[in-house]
Amino acid sequence: MTAKSLYAGMAGLVLLAGCASGAPARPSDFARRVATLVEGSDVPGLAVAVVHHGELVYAHGFGWRDPARTAPMTVDTVQMWFSCSKIVTATAAVRLAQQGRLDLDRPLVSYLADHGLRGPGVERLTARHLLSHTSGLPNPIPLRWMRLDSEIAEPRTDFYRRLIAEHGELRSLPGETMAYSNLNYLVLARVIEVTSGQSFEDYVQDQVLMPLGMRRTGFGPADRWGEDVAVPAMKEWRPYTWAVEWMVDGKILSGSAHGERAGLGRAERQRARRRRLAQHAAGPRWRARAAARLEAGNAAPRDNKGRSPREIRAGLAPTQR
C-alpha cells in the first residue's frame, strides 16, 4: 500500500440478501430496520448495498455523511475505504496469477530480489503467505504512515524501504501462524508493481475497478471526487485517538483546511483544537462534553482516567501531575 488517502466510491457496508430466519426481507422492512439502527447509534450515516447471486439488488444511503448531520448520505457518497483496499489488492494479485504473471506459491525472492525482509524462513515466503496473513510479519501501529492530502508524498520506493527496514523482521516462520499485518499488503503491492510493470494504482484501476464500473473508487485526495464525500470522525476518545490527535494536530492547523491558523501561538492552537473537537466529534455524549468544555474555556478533554494528552504521552497517572 501507499501512504495516500484511499477512498471507496459506494458502500460502507455490504450485506448478503436474506435475514436471520432465512426468509427474504422486503426492501421496505429492511430499510426501516437499518434506519432505526442508524438513528439509535452514534454513527452519523452509512451506505448499504445488498448483493444476491452476484447482482446488486438494493442500494440506499442512510443518515448523514458528516458528524454535524448537515448533508445526507447517498449511494454515491465517497467514503474512505481504509483496509477495504486489501480486497482490491488481493484481487489484483489473483488477477496477475490468472494471467500467468505471478505464481502465488513461488518464493518472493524470485520477484523482489531487494525485498529487505529478514528472519528464519524468509527465503520460503510467498505471495500466498502475504494474502493469508501467514507471513510472520509484525503489525506496527501505522501512526507514522499517515499524511495529509496537502502533503507531498514520500517517494514510493523510499516509503517501502523505510517501513521494511524498521519492521521487516519475521516473528514466525512463513505458514506457521496467522497474524494480521498491514505490512503483508504493503509488500504485496510492491510485488504487483514489479510483476505488472505498472504502478499499483494504475494496475488496480485497469484490472479491477474499471472492469467493474467502479468509476468513483480510487486513490488520491478527497477533493478530486467533488462535494459528496463523507467526513471521517472518531466515535470516542481513547489513548490511541489521543496519539493520532497529538501527531497530526500541528499539520492540520497548518494544512490547506486551516491555513489561516498557521503560525499561531500555542494557546490559540489549543483553542482551535477544542473548537475542532467540538465540531467534529461523532458521538452525541462526546459532542456535549466537548462543547461544555469549550464554553467553559477549559483545557482539552481528558481520557477516562482523567489524564491529559501530555500525561498520556508521558505515561503519568492523574496523581503524578
Residue 245 shares a structural domain with residue 198? no
Q: Is the pLDDT of residue 237 over 80?
A: no
Into how many domains does the chain fold? 3
Residue 126 shares a structural domain with residue 70? no
Residue 101 shares a structural domain with residue 204? yes
- Indicate which CATH number applies to the domain containing 94: 3.40.710.10
Residue 181 shares a structural domain with residue 270? no
Q: Tell me the three cell numbers of residue 36.
A: 432505526
Residue 99 shares a structural domain with residue 199? yes
Q: In sequence order, which residues have a C-beta less than 8 Å from that of residue 147 and are 6 or more positions away? A: 3, 153, 154, 251
Residue 95 shares a structural domain with residue 170? yes
Q: Is the pLDDT of residue 319 over 80?
A: no
**Is 101 part of any domain?**
yes
Residue 210 shares a structural domain with residue 292? no
Mean pLDDT of 25-46: 83
Domain that holds residue 282: 239-320
Mean pLDDT of 66-75: 89
Residue 265 shares a structural domain with residue 307? yes
The answer to whether 38 and 122 are in contact (CB under 8 A) is: no
Relative to beta strand 6-8, strand 13-16 is: unpaired
Query: Last residue of a domain, which of 191, 219, 247?
Result: 219
pLDDT in tens, 4-29: 333 333 333 333 333 333 445 577 88
Query: Last residue of a domain, which of 26, 55, 80?
Result: 80
**Is 191 part of any domain?**
yes
pLDDT in tens, 72-131: 999 999 988 888 899 999 999 999 999 999 999 999 999 998 899 999 999 999 999 999
Residue 177 shares a structural domain with residue 282? no
Element (H, E) at 250: helix 239-254
The answer to whether 15 and 27 are in contact (CB under 8 A) is: no
In this structure, what DSSP letter does residue 107 have? Answer: B
Residue 201 shares a structural domain with residue 109? yes
What is residue 258's predicted lDDT score, i.e. its pLDDT? 29
